[in-house]
Amino acid sequence: MLQLIIYSLAAGIATFAGALAILARKQLSPRTITRLMGFGSGVLAGAAFLHLVPGSIELAPFAASWAMLASLLLFIAIEQFVHARAVHHHHHVNDAGVVGIMGFIALSVHSLIDGLAITAGFRTSQELGLAAAVAVIGHEVPEGVTSVSMFTAAGYTRRLTLLLASVVAFATPGGAIVSWFWTAGVGEPALAVLLGFAAGSFIYVATADILPRLHEMRDIPAFLYLLLGAVIPMLLLFLES
């Protein structure tokens, strides 16, 4: 469990660091943010396809496949709801805080699932736990940047923004630790579901977050950062063998 705590705390700290970078008024250009997101997306995609998907299917193919599909559909539904509500309230100044709250809830749920992914990995094997942890840590800095940008746009004070960003950041270690006790003694089919669900969330975030930016900005370095991120899970395979 010590490794679980260390890696999940590292993920929370990475998110918090991204939040502080914006709060400290260290300007990050859109291209820099896109490149960070590209790197994180590459790590997530590589970890999902090279580690979590094979690991979950090996445990229980049918359960894992359904869990991946359910995860993808759930994240699509959450994003669709948040986006629809944001558009609805876009022209209403008094409702800006509502949009911020919905974003806070969505980001917090995402962080909790990141913690669950780390737990599911370590419950299966040390190798899968490490792969999940590396993937989560790799995309947490852009998440911190996103959270602060969203809360600031909603008109929240600096203190409230820092508080909400802290909750988002440390929901990951909180989710990991709580789910560690919650999953004690579960069998292989349940672990397959957890790993499959985590894999589906990784695939969704890896594609939905970065693809629109790559298409819009046509930034070649961002694509190269994505490829670099995908190399890290590949290297973990060689280290495990």
At 65 the pLDDT is 95
Please determine, for residue 98, whether its predicted confidence score (pLDDT) is greater than 70: no
Residues 125-140, mean pLDDT to the nearest whole number: 89
CA atoms within 13 A on the CB side of 226: 19
Please name the residues in contact with 157: beta carbons below 8 A apart, sequence gap of 6 or more: none
Task: Assign residue 28 a region (left: φ > 0; alpha: ψ between -120 and 50; beta: otherwise).
Answer: beta
Residues 10-16, mean pLDDT to the nearest whole number: 92
Show contacts of 181-185: CB within 8 Å, 24+ apart: 183/119, 183/120, 183/123
At 25 the pLDDT is 67
**Band of pLDDT at residue 84, cut at 50, 70 and 90:** low
As given in the structure block, the two tokens for residue 129 are 């736990």
At 192 the pLDDT is 93
**Band of pLDDT at residue 63, cut at 50, 70 and 90:** very high
Concatenated DSSP letters of 156-219: --HHHHHHHHHHHHHHHHHHHHHHHHHTTT--HHHHHHHHHHHHHHHHHHHHHTTHHHHHHH--
- What DSSP state is assigned to residue 93? G
The average confidence (pLDDT) of the chain is: 84
Total residue length of the chain: 241
**Band of pLDDT at residue 206, cut at 50, 70 and 90:** confident
Percent of the chain with pLDDT strictly greater than 70: 90
As given in the structure block, the two tokens for residue 81 are 């709801």
At 171 the pLDDT is 93
Please determine, for residue 154, whether its predicted confidence score (pLDDT) is greater than 60: yes
CA atoms within 13 A on the CB side of 51: 37
**Band of pLDDT at residue 115, cut at 50, 70 and 90:** very high
Residues 75-103, mean pLDDT to the nearest whole number: 63
**Band of pLDDT at residue 241, cut at 50, 70 and 90:** low
Residue 113 near residue 201 (C-beta atoms within 8 A): yes
Interatomic CA distance for residues 84 and 89, integer angstroms:
9
Tell me the pTM: 0.85
The Cβ of residue 25 has, within 10 Å, a number of other Cβ atoms equal to 6
